[in-house]
């Protein structure tokens, strides 16, 4: 188990999490305290990340930037599209 040092940040306390924690700047984590254990949940942060990806993917549809099946085969055929 890795240790993380608690630091003073303004009038609050905080911790610095390693990059490989799967957390990005601005993510909002839920926490619960159970006896002497504090648990951080990534569930809502992951949902927000997925929601942002989905919304971004629909931007092309809203702009009418669509491709036909044949165009997709030409663009992505080398990756196996249309086989």
**20 in any annotated domain:** no
**What is the reported pLDDT for 5?**
92
Can you give the pTM of this predicted structure? 0.52
Query: Total structural domains in the chain?
Result: 1
**57 in any annotated domain:** yes
- Tens digits of per-residue pLDDT, 52-76? 888 888 888 888 888 888 888 888 8
C-alpha–C-alpha distance, residues 59 and 65, integer Å: 8
pLDDT interval class at 48 (50, 70, 90): confident
**3 in any annotated domain:** no
Closest CA to 82 of 54, 22, 72: 72
**4 in any annotated domain:** no
Domain encompassing residue 67: 27-83
**54 in any annotated domain:** yes
**16 in any annotated domain:** no
**45 in any annotated domain:** yes
**What is the reported pLDDT for 38?**
92
């Amino acid at each position: 188990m890795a240790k993380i040092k608690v630091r003073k940040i303004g009038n609050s306390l905080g911790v610095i999490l390693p990059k490989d924690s799967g957390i990005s700047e601005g993510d909002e984590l839920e926490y619960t305290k159970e006896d002497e254990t504090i648990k951080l949940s990534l569930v809502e942060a992951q949902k927000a990340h997925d929601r942002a990806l989905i919304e971004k993917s629909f931007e092309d549809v809203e702009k009418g930037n669509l491709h036909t099946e044949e165009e997709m085969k030409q663009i992505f055929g080398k990756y196996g599209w249309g086989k």
